[in-house]
């Protein structure tokens, strides 16, 4: 078992989170390095996620590492009934680290327990997606110059949206104030509100979206994901409830930035794209630098040992 895996954002302390963000800033200044020269990274995508996979693969290639893997379970041995345990053991014979996305929740934690090489969780069902959380933090830090004492407005699907849940956990180190805006069917689950109260984090809730976020520093919009609904009637009913339009931003703070994990469907009107407060495309680009920092961190013990052997 490798204990250098990244499965959940709660695996990292405040200091480790800040170190990743520092490291990401260095990669942004100089993204092309050869620090992973000779290393092989496996990207095992048991369910497709083109955006996340390309981001991780670009991060590895820009660091001089090589990629093996698959982008869809249909083309892998799991379609023949191989267990995750066996796939991980097989792949760890070839790769120095494994980036994995799996539809089953807890798959990455389990893989980290049976794998001899580090696992990076690129999403396990609706559970955890820590590299998304770290790139969200990086985007917040980069645009606000601090993570401390910010007003953060979380909007959209707060019930099923794992990115907002992880963001609450991660921001809890930095004294935030939250505003949760969601339709009744998709409001923030109690366990996260209990978490806020226990950590003395102030929050308010609303089920309407107009211009009621004028004190916000960050407006974090999420998509109402069709695949999270068992009842498609309910999906049709709520999917168009929230659309952010340019006119809602007239009285917002000058430092406000609009974030979105993407892909966007119709929850942000295209007329917002030209507003300088829109930050979602730069946010996606920040993901590259953050993933370079993550891959470098999980492989750091191996890279350090390799240097010692050579000297």
Partner 1 sequence: MEKELKVAALRNGTVIDHIPADKLYKVVYILHLDVCEHQITIGNNLESAKVGKKGIIKISDRAFAEDETNKIALIAPNAKINIIRDFQVVEKRPLTLPDEIKEIVQCANPVCITNNQPVSTRFHVLNLDDEVILKCHYCEREVKRDNVKIK
Residue positions annotated with a catalytic role = 51-52, 80, 101, 129
- Give the number of residues in contact with partner 1, rule: CB under 8 A: 19
Q: Which stretch binds partner 1 (CB under 8 A): 44-52, 56-64, 106-114, 131-139?
A: 106-114
Instruction: Answer yes or no whether residue 79 interacts with partner 1 by CB under 8 A.
Output: no
Question: Which is closer to partner 1, CB of 74 or CB of 265?
Answer: 74
Question: Which is closer to partner 1, CB of 124 or CB of 157?
Answer: 124
Q: Residues 109, 228, 245, 302: which binds partner 1 (CB under 8 A)?
A: 109
Instruction: Answer yes or no whether residue 229 interacts with partner 1 by CB under 8 A.
Output: no
Give residues with Cβ within 8 angstroms of 285, minimum separation 6: none
Under 8 Å between Cβ of 170 and 9: yes
Instruction: Answer yes or no whether residue 231 interacts with partner 1 by CB under 8 A.
Output: no
Instruction: Answer yes or no whether residue 105 interacts with partner 1 by CB under 8 A.
Output: yes
Question: Which is closer to partner 1, CB of 132 or CB of 139?
Answer: 132
Q: Nearest Cα to 125, choosing from 53, 68, 46, 50? A: 46
Question: Which is closer to partner 1, CB of 46 or CB of 56?
Answer: 46
Q: Which stretch binds partner 1 (CB under 8 A): 26-34, 120-128, 211-219, 277-285?
A: 120-128
- What are the E-state strand segments in 110-251? 119-124, 151-155, 177-181, 202-206, 218-221
Instruction: Answer yes or no whether residue 52 interacts with partner 1 by CB under 8 A.
Output: no
* Least distance to partner 1, CB of residue 295, Å: 24
Q: Which stretch binds partner 1 (CB under 8 A): 61-69, 80-88, 242-250, 253-261?
A: 80-88
> In sequence order, what DSSP letters do the residues of 206-269 get, joined into one string?
ES--SSTTTT-SEEEE----GGG-S-HHHHHHHTTS--B-GGGGTTS-TT-EEE--S--SSSB-
Instruction: Answer yes or no whether residue 143 interacts with partner 1 by CB under 8 A.
Output: no
**Main-chain phi, psi angles of 186, to 5 degrees:** -120, 25
User: Could you give the strand order of the β-sheet that contains 40-45, starting from the edge strand earlier in sequence?
Assistant: 66-70, 40-45, 97-102, 119-124
Q: Residues 107, 134, 171, 248: which binds partner 1 (CB under 8 A)?
A: 107
Q: Residues 84, 140, 154, 272: which binds partner 1 (CB under 8 A)?
A: 84
Q: Is 286 left (phi over 0), alpha (psi -120 to 50) or beta?
A: alpha
Instruction: Answer yes or no whether residue 48 interacts with partner 1 by CB under 8 A.
Output: no
Q: Nearest Cα to 141, choosing from 257, 230, 233? A: 257
Report how far residue 260's alpha carbon sits from residue 268's, in angstroms, rounded to the nearest whole number: 9
Q: Nearest Cα to 130, choosing from 27, 3, 291, 8? A: 8
Instruction: Answer yes or no whether residue 160 interacts with partner 1 by CB under 8 A.
Output: no
Q: Residues 68, 74, 104, 265: which binds partner 1 (CB under 8 A)?
A: 104
**Is the dihedral angle over the CA atoms 40, 46, 49, 52 positive or is it negative?**
negative
Binding stretches for partner 1 (CB under 8 A): 8, 83-85, 102-107, 109-110, 124-128, 191, 194
């Amino acid at each position: 078992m490798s204990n250098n895996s990244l499965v959940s954002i709660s695996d990292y302390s405040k200091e480790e989170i800040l170190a990743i963000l520092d490291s990401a800033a260095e990669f942004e200044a100089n993204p092309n390095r050869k620090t992973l020269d000779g290393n092989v990274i496996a990207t095992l995508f048991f369910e497709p996620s083109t955006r996340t996979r390309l981001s991780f693969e670009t991060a590895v290639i820009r660091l001089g590492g090589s990629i093996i893997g698959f982008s869809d379970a249909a083309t892998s041995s799991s379609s023949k009934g191989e267990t995750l345990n066996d796939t991980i053991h097989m792949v760890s014979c070839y790769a120095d680290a494994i980036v994995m996305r799996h539809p089953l929740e807890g798959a990455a934690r389990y893989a980290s327990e049976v794998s001899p090489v580090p696992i990076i969780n690129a999403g396990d069902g609706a559970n955890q997606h820590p590299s998304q959380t770290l790139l969200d933090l990086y985007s917040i830090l980069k645009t606000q110059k601090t993570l401390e004492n910010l007003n953060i407005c979380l909007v959209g699907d707060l019930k099923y949206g794992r990115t907002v849940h992880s963001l609450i956990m991660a921001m809890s180190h930095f004294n935030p104030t939250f505003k949760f805006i969601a339709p009744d069917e998709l409001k923030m689950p109690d366990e996260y509100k209990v978490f806020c109260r226990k950590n003395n984090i102030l929050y308010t809730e609303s089920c309407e979206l107009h211009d009621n976020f004028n004190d916000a520093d960050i407006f974090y919009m999420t998509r109402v994901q069709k695949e999270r609904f068992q009842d498609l009637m309910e999906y049709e009913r709520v999917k168009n409830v929230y659309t952010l339009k340019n006119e809602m931003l007239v009285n917002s703070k000058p430092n406000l930035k609009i974030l979105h994990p993407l892909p966007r469907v119709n929850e942000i009107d295209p007329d917002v794209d030209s507003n300088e407060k829109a930050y979602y495309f730069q946010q996606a680009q920040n993901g590259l630098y953050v993933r370079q920092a993550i891959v470098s961190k999980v492989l750091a013990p191996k890279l350090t040992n390799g240097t010692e052997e050579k000297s």
